[in-house]
Amino acid sequence: MTAALSVAFRAIAKSFGIIEALRPTDLDVAAGEFLTLLGPSGSGKTTLLNIAAGYIPPSGGRVLIGGRDVTDLPARRRNIGMVFQNYALFPHLSVADNIAYGLSARGRPADEIKRRVGDTLALVRLEGYGGRAIRELSGGQQQRVALARALIIEPDVLLMDEPLGALDRQLRKHVQLEIRRLHRELGRTTIYVTHDQEEALVMSDRIGVMREGRIAQLGTARELYERPADVFVASFLGESNLLEGRVEALDGARARLVVPLLGAVDGIAAAGLSVGAEASALVRPEDVVVDGAGAGWPAQVEEVVYLGDLVAIRIRLANGQEFWCRRLARLGAPEDAKVGVGWAADRVRVLPGTGTAARAAEPPE
């Protein structure tokens, strides 16, 4: 096995006519890392991946693989494996011939190809399927063929663009775990694109959340979930309750927000806040405490949804706003409609901007 290589994007930008698909973007993917680009449709994920692969040239900036500048190298001279959502298999070729393609194109000898196809079939757990026609395989099996085809060339970097998008939920979970296993076994540097936050959480060493051609925030799943930089990242990763208001006071790591019709809400200050500016307090549903005895802010229970392990409780605050609380189902739901709600101030994050502003800036699907 060859050593894994790092990937670096330096001020990479891409315009299509007047559309700025990527604003100048810097990103360092460590050797052997599994990095996921997560973001809504149109945020520039595929563009960044295609630039890494050499399928499209950037309008500006450089791409480095293993420290070497590959910006001007064509795709076939970069040792990259690519997996697409629609598999892009050759329907008239057998499974084995599809997998062998990268080696045949590189002119490897027949006996080596045969051996490596056998090994790669085993790697993706498709032993005995080499002679099958592509149309005889299920979607999940076809995606494993596509993965095998990308892996057989022992790529320096593995790129995957929403590879599980065409699979149903059950199968998707299964293949997610397979891809994780392969990553652990092979240690290949991987850049994985998805718009599915759960998938990003399950698979990644780090996640880059993309928005409008930029990486809005880069970090581990835990960092992004617990310390989102702004309302967009908070809303994109996990469930969120957002209280909108104005910053009344800033004191080091703490911020106090004044929420109309509700009052003062304290929390941990994110970067980019200033006194008097619009901001939002983020309270995750699992941090909302609903007290049947009525301690805390007065609220009304409107709905209780049983989720098996958890219950989700929809409540309405005195300012008319909806709020969600989640807790373990075995703790039960409050009996009364009139409750008090609260949360620990150190679980609240005060973020710059408001959800209304973030939604208005959202590109249409």
Ligand X SMILES: Nc1ncnc2c1ncn2[C@@H]1O[C@H](COP(=O)(O)OP(=O)(O)O)[C@@H](O)[C@H]1O
In the sheet with 206-211, reading across from the earlier edge strand, the strands are 80-84, 157-161, 189-194, 34-38, 206-211, 214-219
Q: How far is the CB of 41 from ligand X (least distance, A)?
A: 4
Number of Cβ within 10 Å of residue 95's Cβ equals 26
Q: Quick one: which of 331, 283, 338, 284 has its CA closest to 315?
A: 338
Number of Cβ within 10 Å of residue 140's Cβ equals 17
Indicate the residue among 57 and 298 with the shorter CB distance to ligand X. Answer: 57
Q: How far is the CB of 78 from Mg ion (least distance, A)?
A: 20
**What span, in angstroms and rounded, lies between the C-alpha atoms of 355 and 279?**
9
- Find the residue with minimal CB distance to Mg ion: 46
Q: How far is the CB of 166 from ligand X (least distance, A)?
A: 15
Indicate the residue among 46 and 120 with the shorter CB distance to Mg ion. Answer: 46
Helix axes 139-151, 110-123, angle to 10 degrees: 130
Number of residues that bind Mg ion (CB under 5 A): 1
Residue of 8, 27, 42, 200 that binds ligand X (CB under 6 A): 42
Joined tokens for residue 354:
């408001």
Residue of 2, 11, 16, 275 that binds ligand X (CB under 6 A): 16
Indicate the residue among 85 and 204 with the shorter CB distance to Mg ion. Answer: 85
Site for Mg ion in 31-60 (CB under 5 A): 46
Indicate the residue among 95 and 193 with the shorter CB distance to Mg ion. Answer: 193
Count of CA atoms in the C-beta half-sphere (13 A) of 209: 23
How far is CA 235 from each of CA 54, 209, 354, rounded to the nearest angstrom? 33, 11, 11
Q: Quick one: which of 165, 168, 13, 5 has its CA closest to 85?
A: 165
Q: Give, as one character, the DSSP assignment of residue 94.
A: B
25 touches ligand X by CB under 6 A: no
**What span, in angstroms and rounded, lies between the C-alpha atoms of 117 and 104?**
11
Q: How far is the CB of 140 from Mg ion (least distance, A)?
A: 21
At which residue do the structure tokens 């698979």 appear?
Answer: 203
Indicate the residue among 45 and 144 with the shorter CB distance to ligand X. Answer: 45
Site for ligand X in 45-84 (CB under 6 A): 45-47
Q: Decide: helix, strand or coil at residue 321.
A: coil
353 touches ligand X by CB under 6 A: no
Answer with the entry of ligand X, Mg ion, none that 47 interacts with (C-beta below 5 to 8 A by kind): ligand X
All residues at 6 or more sequence positions from 170 whose CB lies less than 8 Å from its CB, including other chains: none
Q: Decide: helix, strand or coil at residue 77.
A: helix
Answer with the entry of Mg ion, ligand X, none that 98 interacts with (C-beta below 5 to 8 A by kind): none
How far is CA 194 from each of CA 61, 85, 183, rounded to the nearest angstrom? 24, 10, 17
Q: How far is the CB of 331 from Mg ion (least distance, A)?
A: 41
Q: How far is the CB of 219 from ligand X (least distance, A)?
A: 19
Number of residues that bind ligand X (CB under 6 A): 11
85 touches ligand X by CB under 6 A: no
Q: How far is the CB of 139 from Mg ion (least distance, A)?
A: 19
176 touches Mg ion by CB under 5 A: no
Q: How far is the CB of 53 from ligand X (least distance, A)?
A: 13
At which residue do the structure tokens 């809504």 appear?
Answer: 40
41 touches ligand X by CB under 6 A: yes
Indicate the residue among 212 and 266 with the shorter CB distance to ligand X. Answer: 212
143 touches Mg ion by CB under 5 A: no
**What span, in angstroms and rounded, lies between the C-alpha atoms of 242 and 348?**
10
Q: Quick one: which of 273, 278, 288 has its CA closest to 258?
A: 278
Indicate the residue among 19 and 277 with the shorter CB distance to ligand X. Answer: 19
Indicate the residue among 130 and 163 with the shorter CB distance to Mg ion. Answer: 163
Q: What residues make contact with Mg ion under the rule CB under 5 A?
A: 46
Q: What residues make contact with ligand X under the rule CB under 6 A?
A: 16, 19, 21, 39, 41-47
